[in-house]
Structure 1
C-alpha cells in the first residue's frame, strides 16, 4: 500500500533536514491508512475495544530528506502471527529509498480497560495477507 506525505517546514530541524521522529509519525499514519484500506479503520476498531499497540519499532535513515518534497511510504505485512504482525515501511523521495523501518504491533482487546493481546480474527488476517502482499 502507498501513503503519500508532503514534508512541511515544521517537519525539519535547524539544518533544514527532516527531524527523525517524523519518520515514526509517518509510519504510524501509514499503518492507520493501511487498516482503513482493508476496511478496518482504527477509529472503528477502538470503538469495538480493539487497539493496535506498538511492541517494537525501528527506522534506518539512508539519505537526508529536505523541506517541500513528497515522500511515498510503501507499507506491507512482512510477518503475521496469531496475535502480532509486522509492517514494513519504505520511504521514497523522487524514486530513491531514503529510509526504511518497521513496526511490530499486537491485536489487543481493551474491553477490561487494559490492552491484552488476543487472536487476530481470521477475516482480518486474510485481508492483511491480501493487502500486505500488494494484491
Structure 2
C-alpha cells in the first residue's frame, strides 16, 4: 500500500499549558495528510466538490504514543486502508521527523456521498477516482 507524506511544523498555538501538542490537533493533521493524498492523486477536495462527491467523516480513531512538542517538524503518513462501495477508510501515522519517533496512529472513515449526503457508489459515479484509490491499496 502506498503511503503519502506531508510535513507540518508545530506552532506555539498547537500546544497546551504543559507545552505539548494539544490532542485534537492530531485529528486536524490527519485532514492535512488526507488533503495532500487526494491532491497528489489528482483529486483535491475542490475537484471532488465540483464533481459532486463529498467525503464526510463518519468515524475517527486516534492512539497517542508519545507527545509532540513546540517547533517539532512532524511527518504525516497517510494512505488508503480500505475502499468499499460507498466508504473509504484512511490510515495515518505521525512521526517526529528529527528522531523518527512514532507519535500517533489513527484512522478516519468517510462516507462517499452526494452533496445531499446520500451514499453513492464511487465505482459507478467516478470510476477514475475509484481506480486511483484502489491502486494504492496494493501498491
Name the TM-score, length of structure 1 as normaliser: 0.91
Q: Determine if contact 1:4/1:73 at 8 Å carries over to the other structure.
A: yes
Q: Which moved more, 1:4-13 or 1:121-130?
A: 121-130
Q: How does 1:1-135 map to 2 (within 5 A)?
A: 1-93=4-96, 94-110=99-115, 114-120=116-122, 121-133=126-138, 135=139
> CA RMSD of the aligned region, Å?
1.2
Measure the CA separation in 2 of the matches of 1:95 and 1:69: 11
Inter-partner Cα distance in structure 1 for 2:109 and 2:35 = 14
- Secondary structure (helix, strand or coil) at the match of 1:103 reads strand
Q: TM-score, normalised by structure 2?
A: 0.89
Larger fraction in strand: 1
Runs of 4+ in 1 over 3 A off after TM superposition: none
Instruction: Mark the runs of 5 or more structure 1 residues left unpaired by the alignment.
Output: none
Q: Give how far 1:66 is off.
A: 0.5
Q: In structure 2, list runs of 5 or more residues that go unmatched.
A: none
